[in-house]
Amino acid sequence: MTGQPLHVESDLTFSVDGPSGLSTGTVRASGSRVTVRISHPVSMMEAVLGADGGGARTPAAVGDFLAGVGLTVDVIGPRGLVVTMGDGVESAIGALVSGTRRVRPGSLRAAGPLAVARIRRPQQVRGQVAIGAVALVALVAADLARRRLARRTSA
C-alpha cells in the first residue's frame, strides 16, 4: 500500500433496488473498520458485483482493494455475519471461494443464500462457484469434526 491508509467516520442509511429486490441498510465506520448491515444480502451482492458477477467488481477485487487502502469491512445480514473483507483478513476458504485471501465468508447460515444465488448464475460462473461451495462445505464439516474430537478427548 502506498501512502496513508484510509480512515472513515460514517453513519449512513441507504437503499438499493437490485435485480432481486430492494435492500436497505446502514453503514457505520470509525477509523479503518466499517460495518455494513443489510436487509437482503443477495440484492446487495448483485448491486455491488453486477447481476452477472463479471467485470472488475468481483469479490476478490473488492477485498484486495479494501486491503490496499487499509480498510476492513464486515457485512452483516439478517442471519448474522455474511463476509469480512479487506485489511487484516487472511482466509484459505475465502481464497477458494472468491479468489483472494482478503475475503472471509461468515457463518454458513448467513452466507448460504449468497452461495445459492451464485449457483443460479450463468453457466460460466457455476463451475467455479460449485467447486467453492463444495470446498466450503468440506472445510466446515472438517472443522466441526475437529471440534467434536477435541471435546471428546478433553472430557
In the prediction, which pLDDT does 76 show? 92
Tell me the average pLDDT of the chain: 75
User: pLDDT tens digits for 90-103?
Assistant: 999 888 878 899 99
Confidence class of residue 130 from pLDDT cuts 50, 70 and 90?
very low
Pick the most confident of 22-26, 119-123, 124-128: 22-26
Q: Is the pLDDT of residue 126 over 50?
A: no
User: pLDDT tens digits for 59-73?
Assistant: 788 889 889 888 899
Judge if pTM exceeds 0.75.
Answer: no
19-24 long-range Cβ contacts below 8 angstroms, 24+ apart: 19/43, 19/46, 19/51, 20/46, 20/117, 23/47
Give percent of the chain above pLDDT 90: 15
In the prediction, which pLDDT does 59 show? 79
Q: Select the more confidently predicted residue: 30 or 132.
A: 30
- Of 83, 96, 86, nearest in space to 63 by CA: 86
User: pLDDT tens digits for 72-85?
Assistant: 999 899 999 988 99
- Kindly report the length of the chain: 155
CA–CA dist 8, 43 (Å, integer)? 25
